[in-house]
Structure 1
Amino acid sequence: MPTAETPSADRGQDTAGGPAGSTDGPVGSTDGPADAATLAWTAMQAFVTAQDRRGRLRDELDLGPLRLELLLRLADGPMTLREIAVLIGADPPSATLAVDKMQARGFVERTPHPDDNRRKLVHLTPAGRVAARAGHHVMTDPPPAIAALSPADLARLTDLLALLRPEPPAP
């Protein structure tokens, strides 16, 4: 079985990273651990990209990530339009438009603020709670390929991924 230390010609690849004799590999690729790291990184990127969680969110719920974030935050309690604007990084008129669209879909409702009749509070409706829960599952449930791994493989994967955590900043 080839290892990261096996010369690329022995693995059926030229030094450019493509199949032996090809010239279409990445410029500047190397043999050895760096080559193995590139292969691992490429495989990880391909796996994550193939999951397309944002596409599923859009296709299944007609929501974008910011609107899902808003629904999830509203699940914790009502917010003012100003708080929503800060949350989604928009000016108040844009936040109002976003809330209008979510209200038209039946996900939120506005009520008078108990302390200031000039302001409104935005609350989730039951339909908004269902959408928030469904969106949360789309974004967080493990993909079938991971869910199908054995407990031992999941433990190994978890251990490997723990090695990739960034170091905490120095005090």
Structure 2
Amino acid sequence: MNPEPTPAAQVWTEMLAFVTGQDRLRALRLELDLGVGKAELLIKLAEAPMTLREIAQAAEVDPSAATVAVDRLERRGLAERRANPGDKRSRLVHLTEAGLQAAAAARRILTEPPAALAALEAADLATLTRIFATMAAGLPGKDGGGRPR
């Protein structure tokens, strides 16, 4: 006989079911034919052009992996390398118009709350925000807002 799950285990099970039911990775693949890494790169590049070194640092990958990622974006017409006016030895990666559109779509897919969450009352959302902030503050290597230190 299985013991009765604890309240925390019940909440965890419901949370997992809700979050995993929001298949954002599948949506990225279907709508943009992108994985999450390339989608996040597009979002970063939409903010400002970057050098390959900056891309590698931001993505926490080695420079050769950044080069491969940018090559793939270029082949798809989403990005292009241009001369860096501040450093003649490097080039800046810029998004094309198609890249800017893909970045906007990726941002929407990754950040738009699910309809069931958006439909909650303001008080319920405030409660969830407080609960998740409390839990995130307890994560190792995170600041009080759950972001990496």
Q: Same fold (TM over 0.5)?
A: yes
Corresponding position of 1:163 = 131
1:40-62 deviation line (CA, Å, top 9, x unaligned): 21011100001011221122111
2:16 maps to 1:45: yes
Please, which of 55, 64, 73 is the counterpart of residue 26 of structure 2?
Answer: 55
Moved over 4 A (4+): none
Which is richer in helix? 2
Corresponding position of 2:72 = 101
Q: Distance in 1 between matches of 2:91 and 2:7?
A: 56
Q: Distance in 1 between matches of 2:96 and 2:128?
A: 41
Return the index of the structure with the highest Cα Rg.
1
Q: Distance in 1 between matches of 2:58 and 2:44?
A: 9
User: Structure 1 residue 143: deviation in Å?
Assistant: 1.2
2:104 maps to 1:133: yes
1:102-134 deviation line (CA, Å, top 9, x unaligned): 011111111111133331110111111100110
Q: Distance in 2 between matches of 1:160 and 1:125?
A: 38
Unpaired runs of 5+ residues, structure 1, are 1-14, 17-28
Corresponding position of 1:121 = 92
How much is the aligned-residue C-alpha RMSD, in angstroms? 2.1
Provide the secondary structure at the position in 2 that maps to 1:109.
Answer: strand
Provide the secondary structure at the position in 2 that maps to 1:164.
Answer: helix
Corresponding position of 1:84 = 55
Q: Distance in 1 between matches of 2:86 and 2:132?
A: 48
Aligned CA distance change for structure 1 residues 83 and 159 (closer, same or farther; 3 Å):
same
- Percent of pairs with identical residues: 47
Tell which has more relative contact order, 1 or 2 (C-alpha 8 A, sep 6+): 2
1:10-31 deviation line (CA, Å, top 9, x unaligned): xxxxx62xxxxxxxxxxxx446
Provide the secondary structure at the position in 1 that maps to 2:21.
Answer: helix
Provide the secondary structure at the position in 2 that maps to 1:51.
Answer: coil
Aligned CA distance change for structure 1 residues 79 and 160 (closer, same or farther; 3 Å):
closer
Q: Distance in 2 between matches of 1:91 and 1:42?
A: 37
- How many residue pairs match? The answer is 137
Q: Distance in 2 between matches of 1:103 and 1:143?
A: 32
